[in-house]
Amino acid sequence: MVIGFIGLGNMAKAMISGILKDQLVNPEDIIGSSATQETMDRVSSEYGIRTNVSNKAVASAADILILAVKPLTLPVVLEEIMDAIDENKLIISVAAGKTTKWISQYFSRPVKIVRCMPNTPALVQEGCSALCRNENVTDEDLRTALRIIASFGTAEVVNENLMDVVGGVSGSSPAYVFMFIEAMADAAVKGGMQRKQAYRFAAQTVMGSARLMLESGRHPAELKDMVCSPGGTTIEGLEVLEQNGFRAAVMEAIGACVEKSKKL
């Protein structure tokens, strides 16, 4: 099985790392193209994969073709590769907002398309990805796609009409979580802590809280209540967050993200 990548940026590198870690294929069974020779040389020397300047040549060589370019670049790429895709190849697109139907319009025959929405924690194999398929993708194809995507984090199949919501809750949310961590650390710096140490405390607290919820299976409100002693310090901070519309702000931010995704 040959896995092709068109685009060798952050998301492609996260996926390549996961695929090689799980030994799904050997490095020489991965072939990739990107806009610049510099990127191809760098990724090739880092992972030992093959590269080719031609997107069409990569598409021809691949059994599974991963489209890992920005959404705005996708039309150009699809024009280049459309004649190299037959009904046996499986396309996996990670481009935000581009539906399986939109991609399929570039091809004159039925093609298998899986759409995936990963997020940047995939770079440390802690991604949270959703995937959906079009009608030509078989159950076996879907299992193959799931194995590839689960190599760099969790992977769940969703209905395509949920993909914009997935983009909001997991695709874009790392940005909001990093803002939250930064703000926590700024407050610690204000209180006298060294900045580097403050980032470690804030980030570990976010990671630990998430793990506690996932591993205990307990409701987030129950875990929140566990921290809030009667008359204690935490409930004071909680009141300030509520007064400042913390929950509403988070919901509105993710809602805005979902709406924008629908318009892409």
CB of 231 to ligand NAP, least distance (A): 42
Q: Is 66 in the site for ligand NAP (CB under 6 A)?
A: no
CB nearer ligand NAP, residue 120 or residue 209: 120
41: part of which helix (H) or strand (E)?
Answer: helix 37-47
CB nearer ligand NAP, residue 117 or residue 198: 117
Q: Which of 3, 4, 11, 166 binds ligand NAP (CB under 6 A)?
A: 11
CB nearer ligand NAP, residue 39 or residue 60: 39
- 184-199: burial string, b at 16+ Cβ within 10 Å, e else: bbeebeeeebeeeebb
Span of 69-77, 104-112, 136-144, 221-229 interacting with ligand NAP by CB under 6 A: 69-77
Spell out, one character per residue from 111 to 140, where the chain touches ligand NAP: x when CB under 6 A holds, - when not. ------xxxx--------------------
Closest residue to ligand NAP, judged by C-beta, is: 9
Q: Per-residue DSSP letters for 162-228? A: GHHHHIIIIISHHHHHHHHHHHHHHHHHHTT--HHHHHHHHHHHHHHHHHHHHHH---HHHHHHHH-
CB nearer ligand NAP, residue 7 or residue 18: 7
CB of 117 to ligand NAP, least distance (A): 5
| 38-57 residues near ligand NAP, rule: CB under 6 A | 39, 55
Token pair 């879907």 is at which residue? 142
Q: Is 33 in the site for ligand NAP (CB under 6 A)?
A: yes
Which residues make beta-bridge pairs with 65? 4, 91
Which residue type sits at 223? L
CB of 177 to ligand NAP, least distance (A): 12
CB of 190 to ligand NAP, least distance (A): 30
Burial of 124 (0-12, 13-18, 19+ CB in 10 A): exposed
Q: Which of 70, 143, 219, 262 binds ligand NAP (CB under 6 A)?
A: 70
Q: Per-residue DSSP letters for 54-123? A: -HHHHHHH-SEEEE-S-GGGHHHHHHHHGGG--TT-EEEE--TT--HHHHHTT-SS--EEEEEE--GGGG
24 within 8 A of 151, measured Cβ to Cβ: yes
Q: Which of 4, 18, 153, 171 binds ligand NAP (CB under 6 A)?
A: 171
Query: Would you state the torsion angle of the CA atoms of residues 193, 194, 200, 206, taken in this order, to the nearest 10 degrees?
Result: 40
The closest of 141, 29, 160, 17 to 89, measured between CA atoms, is 141
CB nearer ligand NAP, residue 43 or residue 202: 43
Which residue type sits at 137? V
DSSP state of 36: -
Q: Is 77 in the site for ligand NAP (CB under 6 A)?
A: yes
The residue count for binding ligand NAP (CB under 6 A) is 28
CB of 76 to ligand NAP, least distance (A): 5
Q: Name the residues that contact ligand NAP, by CB under 6 A.
A: 6-12, 33-36, 39, 55, 68-71, 73, 76-77, 94-96, 117-120, 171
